[in-house]
Amino acid sequence: MQVISCLSEVDTFIKRVEDESHSKYVCVSVDRGFTKEDWQPLPKNRVYWQWSGGGGSPSIEFTGVPFMFVGGKRLGCHRGKDRAVAQKKKYAAEKAKKMMDDETIVSQTSLSQYTKKVGCPATICISKIAMFPKFRLGDNKERTRKKASKALKQALQQDPVVWETCFVLTHHKEHSGHERDEVIVAKKKRRKRLKNIETEATLHEMPFHVVPLQVSDCESE
C-alpha cells in the first residue's frame, strides 16, 4: 500500500512502474467519483477507519484518521484479459458475411482475430479517499470509532469540514503469459540484424560478369 497526496504523483508512480516492468498499463475501469472534481462529503456517506480490500481496491490500514471513499480506478497490463471478445466476434461475422456475399472463399482460420491479450494479471489499483485529520483518534477501539464517526457526520450537517484528498495505491507486480516488451523488441532487432547480415553475405557471394565493351565501326574510324 502506498499513499499519495496528489494526482500528478499518481501519474509519476504509474510511469515508474511501466519503466521498471517495461510494460504499458491501460485503464480497465474507473468510477465516476474518481474524476469528479466537485465531490463533497455528505453526512450520508459511510465513515471508514480501515479497509481490508476487496473488489480490486487496495487495503487501507488503521491510521487513526477517518476517511470516505470518493472513487476508484483500476489499470491492467496491456497484455491482460481481452475485454472486447464479443465485439471482435461480431466484426469477424460481419466481415465473413460480406466476403461470402462477394462470392469469396473464406477459410475458418482467416476469421480468427489476432490479439496480443494473454490474460496477464498485473494490475495497479487506486482508491481516491477523503481524509478528516481533525477527527484523528489515538486508539482503535470500536466504541471510540463509533463516537468519532457520529461526531464527524454531525459536523458535516452544520459547518464545512476540512478534509484532504489522498490516493491509495497497490501494485500487483507479477506479469505472466508474455515476455516483457524490451525482450520482444531486442529479439526483433536481432532478427533484423541477422537478416541484414545474410543479405550482405548473399550479395558478396553473387558472381559478377564483366561485359566487354564493344566499339562501333564509326568510332573505330
Residue spans per domain, the chain: 2-80+117-175, 82-116
How far apart are alpha carbons 42 and 38 in whole angstroms? 12
Report the DSSP beta bridge partners of residue 72: 127
pLDDT at site 220: 47
Report the DSSP beta bridge partners of residue 109: none
At 182, which amino acid appears? Answer: E
Bigger pLDDT: 46 vs 215: 46
Taking residues 23-33, report their average pLDDT: 90
How many Cβ atoms sit within 10 Å of the Cβ of residue 103?
6
How far apart are alpha carbons 27 and 29 in whole angstroms? 6
Residues 6+ apart with CB under 8 A from 18: 24, 25
pLDDT at site 221: 47
With 60 as the cut, is the pLDDT of residue 177 above it?
yes
pLDDT at site 12: 94
pLDDT at site 61: 93
How far apart are alpha carbons 62 and 69 in whole angstroms? 15
The per-residue pLDDT of the chain, averaged, comes to 80
With 80 as the cut, is the pLDDT of residue 47 above it?
yes
Taking residues 31-39, report their average pLDDT: 90
With 60 as the cut, is the pLDDT of residue 27 above it?
yes
pLDDT at site 89: 59
Bigger pLDDT: 168 vs 118: 168
Taking residues 79-86, report their average pLDDT: 65
Q: Which of 160, 159, 137, 161 is nearest to 148 (CA)?
A: 137
Q: What are the grid coordinates assigned to 18, written together?
A: 511501466
% of the chain residues with pLDDT over 70: 71
Taking residues 50-74, report their average pLDDT: 91
Bigger pLDDT: 86 vs 175: 175
pLDDT at site 216: 54
